[in-house]
Amino acid sequence: MRREHKCRNVAFVMMIAVLVAGLSGCGAANDRQSDIKVPATNAPTGDKQTTPTNAPTGDNQTTPTNTPAVTNAPTDTPGATSTPTPTVAPTPTEEPELGKLVVIDAGHQRKGNNEKEPDGPGSTTLKAKVSSGTKGHFTGIAEYELNLIVAKKLETILRERGYRVIMVRDTHDVDLSNSERAEIANKAGADVFIRIHANAHDNSDVHGAETLCQTKNNPYNADLYAKSRRLSETVLNALCAECGCKKRSVVETDTMSGINWCRVPVTIVEMGFMTNETEDRLMATEEYRNKLAKGIADGIDAYFAD
């Protein structure tokens, strides 16, 4: 009995061993089967392969979604996918004709300079560089103040009429000699040089407007005489017509440094006499100053119109 029982035990152990071996074989088979690629269960059916649902449609082949595309490639980079937009050349525009250049000198300054300078290029005759000018005998207004007020009004009118304007001074606190003022006009290549002044006389009855230019025999710039004379005439005529003042004359002189140093057409405008009560008081009013400026501007227009 005991022997038979032992045999049964041995048989039972052998059966267990067979079962364990069978189970191990199935695991190995399963491992080998995992190496075989099986189509995904959600793959679409049909004979032809379809485009993934998240791929853009179109006739051209698209870039794989996991490959970055070149986005902002410079237009000059080889292989860039974008084509540079052609630049359209601007349509050339005609350059507008520049207006005539007028240089305006408001005569004198707050503080005169009595140092000497030649009254013309290479001259041995010396004159004070610049004075502070006269003043209104009845209003007390300084000439240098009156000159600048009218000069600025003239500047405004001329700019409105299309002229280019350079002001020799726009303040009273300068130190510019007469030759230096002329040189400003020369270097700028002025078409005309207008020098604004007011007059004085020992006789308070003397009144009226006049202009000054060089003589035809001027040793420094006689070649400009004809133009300066005509400029002086047109300005004087227009000023007197606008203001209704007495027209004196065009005074020709070779004693003015501010004329002798000029290489452009020039005139000195003596607007009226500050020693005459009527003209002194008139030149103190806004209305008359406007007329003086407009009259000078009209004269400049007439000069260029000829």
What is the three-class DSSP state of 224?
A: helix
Full residue range of the structural domain in which residue 107 is found:
101-305
Of 79-88, 172-181, 184-193, 277-286, the poorest mean pLDDT is in 79-88
Q: How many domains does the chain have?
A: 1
Q: Give a yes or no: residue 134 inside a domain.
A: yes
Q: Which pair of structure tokens corresponds to residue 18?
A: 């067979």
Q: With 90 as the cut, is the pLDDT of residue 303 above it?
A: yes
Residues 248/210, Cβ–Cβ less than 8 Å = yes
| H or E stretch at 30 | helix 2-34
Q: Tokens standing for 254?
A: 């070779």
Q: What percent of the chain shows pLDDT beyond 70?
A: 68
Residue 28 in any domain: the answer is: no
How large is the average pLDDT for residues 194-207? 98
- Largest separation between any pair of C-alpha atoms in the chain: 176
Query: CA angle 282-155-106, nearest 5°?
Result: 65
Instruction: List the one residue out of 213, 254, 227 whose CA is nearest residue 118.
Output: 254
pLDDT: which is higher, 304 or 67: 304
Domain membership of residue 73 (yes or no) is: no
Tell me whether residue 265 is in a domain: yes
Please state, rounded to an integer, the average pLDDT across all residues of the chain.
80
Comparing C-alpha atoms, which of 58, 68, 183 is closest to residue 117? 183
Lowest mean pLDDT among 19-23, 182-186, 198-202: 19-23
| Residue 50: DSSP 8-state | P
Q: Is residue 7 part of a domain?
A: no
Residue 238, pLDDT score: 98
Segment 197-216 shows an average pLDDT of 98
Which range has highest mean pLDDT (6-15, 78-87, 166-175)? 166-175
**Phi/psi of residue 139, each to 5°?**
-100, -20
Does 209 have pLDDT greater than 70?
yes
**297 domain-assigned:** yes
Least confident of 95-104, 181-190, 218-227: 95-104
Residue 133 placed within a domain:
yes
Model pLDDT, residue 306? 83
Report the alpha-carbon distance of residue 239 to residue 253 in Å, rounded: 21
CATH number of the domain encompassing residue 146: 3.40.630.40
Of all residues in the chain, what percent carry a pLDDT higher than 90?
Answer: 68
Q: How far, in whole angstroms, is CA 72 from its chain's centroid?
A: 36
Report the C-alpha gap between 202 and 49 in whole angstroms.
Answer: 117
Kindly report which listed range (95-104, 136-145, 269-278) carries the lowest average pLDDT score.
95-104
pTM for this entry: 0.70
Assess if residue 247 is contained within a domain.
Answer: yes
